[in-house]
Structure 1
Amino acid sequence: MRHRRIGRSGLLVSEISYGNRFAHRESANCARAALEAGITTFHTAAAWGHGAAEEALAEGLREARRDDIVLCTGVFWLEHPGASQFGLGRKHLMSSLHGSLRRLGTDHVDVFQLWRFDHRTPLEETFLALSDVVREGKVRYVGTAEWTAEQLLRADALANELRVPLLCNHAHYSMLWRAPESQVMPAAARAGIGHFASMPLAQGILTGKYRQQRIPPGSRADNDERGRSAVRPFLDASLLERVDLLRGIAEEAGLTMAQLAIAWALHHEGVASAVVGASRPAQVAENARASGVELGIDVLTQIDQLLGGFVQSDPRLTFTPTQYDDL
């Protein structure tokens, strides 16, 4: 497993990160498989599974030396039914962080992610609270997720003023979803902010498992309505035919389709790590083998030619909320 520095920081992260969103029966085993594959960077969030995802990840990492791993969690959404606090206000940020530390069984997190931009809370309030927890040693670095270029530059100015180590943005980025490329990634580069590439497999579409518009049993789209909603826009017959043609490119390169997609996300110089989830330990081991793969210009060109007009690159589609009704 190769490692890269993220942004202009001194933090090394594994090229493949493991993200634990759920607390299914294999969650802890998947985290252990990630450790065995050399993965050192792990992501979760307080709201995922109402805290159960953090607890499952902590169980899987129980035998790891704390100083050997980069542990990332984050705040934004409601964290349990009936909660009144969400977003990035001081009260929610503080209570969320302390809950995460308790569930993760640690006295600090390496990266504290602001999972979405909060239009209702002054950015100054958020970063003053962050400066406090950084000084207290509870947070080593701060990251954002799905922030626009303008939001990142505002955050960078405040971070510099308040001495908050803002080092990364977590953005959806894949062969099919390239919305960050034209504005977010250039702005981040100017600010010295690196990227975690989220969903490099495009909700599993780029693994080739959704052939002929069928939803495979046990897939995320088969398990819950949110998963089905996320996958549904990709279940286009013409798109799936093009994706299936990627199989030949992957085989010629000696890769699985998943490895090809992860390696593609890692080819962008601003991306330090690709974040992947898994429902089985074997998937983690397969994904980890994408580390160190270098794709030639001929392969990258073939991918662009195949996917063509199905690539989404509109920067206005950055996943930042303007409504809070679904929280």
Structure 2
Amino acid sequence: MKHRYLGNSGLKVSEICYGNWITHGSQVENETATKCVHAALEAGITSFDTADVYANTVAESVLGAALAGQRRESLEIFTKVYWPTGPMGPNDCGLSRKHIMESINGSLRRLGTDYVDLYQAHRWDYETPLEETMQAFADVVRAGKALYIGVSEWSADQIRAGHAMAKELGFQLVSNQPQYSMLWRVIEEQVVPTSEGLGVSQVCWSPVAQGVLTGKYLPGQPVPDGSRATDANGGANFIKRLMETPTLEAVQRLRPIADELGITMAQLAVAWVLQNQNVGCAIIGASRPEQIAENVAASGVEIPTELMARIDEALGDVVVRDPGLTEQNTPKSRPC
């Protein structure tokens, strides 16, 4: 497993990070979730990503229990704040000082740790002044409850504003967590160049596009039993937009490229994300322990320039590139 620096900080993270969105506390049983975490550790993964909103806080508890007994100093644990948790009261979401302070304490309790390595604003909060949010993050850092601060799905302008205010307050904004894959490249035009100039890394979620880039969903064929596309707890809804026939046909055109490299299509997808040097790590999930070993094999894979060009040709116009979608997909009012 290779490691990369997160932004301009001295923190190194495993370039493949294990995340438990959708899976822990909902899609898979706790025993299986624990086996997946242990498989990640055995594969050399040291970075683990979660959020308080996942399974309404349960995912954090599952991850904390699975990591219990590990040497804390050898891990990098990430979590997030913004989306609703608890009974959906008026202050149970957003980036207000109240919600951030209460949320970090809850996350630490559930994760069974005194601090998280990276605490992330899960979205931009249009209803809270940026000054309030960043001051709260500064105080969280000074209290030793988080070592570094990041954001998730912020636009280039938002990252620029947050980075400047963090600097004024004496701490560094080191990362942004966007969706990024061969099929979803909305960060490339604005977010990545801005981040490179500021010393901010991307912590990318869904590098395999909800499993679509594994090639297991065939155009015109029934979806495999037990796949995310059959998950009524949320997975099927998230993957729906990727299941259109032109997209599935384009994905199948990637198979010869993966074969030429001697890797699976899932490994090709993860390796493709890691070719971008602004990427600090790619987050993978798993519903079975054996999936971990397959994805980890993407670490260190180099895709030649000519094959990167063939990937672009194979996918054609099914790739989504509009940089405006980052802001469009962020709620304009608090979702609680």
TM-score, normalisation: structure 2: 0.94
Q: Where does 1:151-170 land on structure 2 (aligned, <5 Å)?
A: 151-170=158-177
**AA in 1 matched with 2:98:** K
- Paired residue total: 327
Q: Give the aligned partner of residue 129 of structure 2.
A: 122
Structure 1 Cα separation of the partners of residues 186 and 42 of structure 2: 33
* Greater than 6 Å deviation, 4+ residue runs: none
- Residue aligned with 1:38, SS: coil
Q: Is the 8 A contact 1:221 1:227 kept in 2?
A: yes
Q: Give the aligned partner of residue 330 of structure 2.
A: 321
Q: Is the 8 A contact 1:171 1:195 kept in 2?
A: yes
Q: Give 1:276 deviation, angstroms.
A: 0.7
Q: Unaligned regions of 5+ residues in structure 2, if any? A: none
Q: Give 1:304 deviation, angstroms.
A: 0.5
Q: Give the aligned partner of residue 101 of structure 1.
A: 108
Q: Give the aligned partner of residue 273 of structure 1.
A: 281
Q: Where does 1:162-181 land on structure 2 (aligned, <5 Å)?
A: 162-181=169-188
**AA in 2 matched with 1:307:** L
Equivalent in 192, 202, 213 of residue 209 of structure 2 = 202
Q: Give 1:225 deviation, angstroms.
A: 5.5
Q: Give 1:6 deviation, angstroms.
A: 1.4
Indicate yes or no: 2:55 matched with 1:37. Answer: no
Q: Is the 8 A contact 1:140 1:165 kept in 2?
A: no
Greater CA drift, 240-249 or 284-293 = 240-249
Question: How much is the aligned-residue C-alpha RMSD, in angstroms?
Answer: 1.3
- Residue aligned with 1:17, SS: strand
Q: Give 1:226 deviation, angstroms.
A: 3.2
Structure 2 Cα separation of the partners of residues 156 and 209 of structure 1: 40
Q: Give the aligned partner of residue 254 of structure 2.
A: 246
Q: Is the 8 A contact 2:223 2:229 kept in 1?
A: yes
Indicate yes or no: 2:14 matched with 1:14. Answer: yes
TM-score, normalisation: structure 1: 0.97
- Residue aligned with 1:204, SS: helix
**AA in 2 matched with 1:175:** M
Q: Is the 8 A contact 1:127 1:164 kept in 2?
A: no
Q: Is the 8 A contact 1:278 1:284 kept in 2?
A: yes
Greater CA drift, 147-156 or 213-222 = 213-222
Task: Calculate percent identity across the aligned residue pairs.
Answer: 46
Structure 2 Cα separation of the partners of residues 299 and 133 of structure 1: 45
Indicate yes or no: 2:273 matched with 1:297. Answer: no
Q: Unaligned regions of 5+ residues in structure 1, if any? A: none
Q: Give the aligned partner of residue 184 of structure 1.
A: 191
**AA in 1 matched with 2:15:** E
Q: Is the 8 A contact 2:93 2:334 kept in 1?
A: no
**AA in 1 matched with 2:179:** H
Structure 2 Cα separation of the partners of residues 16 and 224 of structure 1: 28
Indicate yes or no: 2:264 matched with 1:264. Answer: no
Q: Give 1:17 deviation, angstroms.
A: 0.2
Q: Give the aligned partner of residue 68 of structure 1.
A: 74
- Listed one character per residue, the Cα deviations across residues 69-96 of structure 1 (whole Å, up to 9, x for unaligned) are 1000010111123433211000110111
**AA in 2 matched with 1:322:** P
**AA in 2 matched with 1:178:** R
Q: Give the aligned partner of residue 50 of structure 1.
A: 56
Q: Is the 8 A contact 1:242 1:306 kept in 2?
A: yes
Q: Is the 8 A contact 2:65 2:112 kept in 1?
A: no
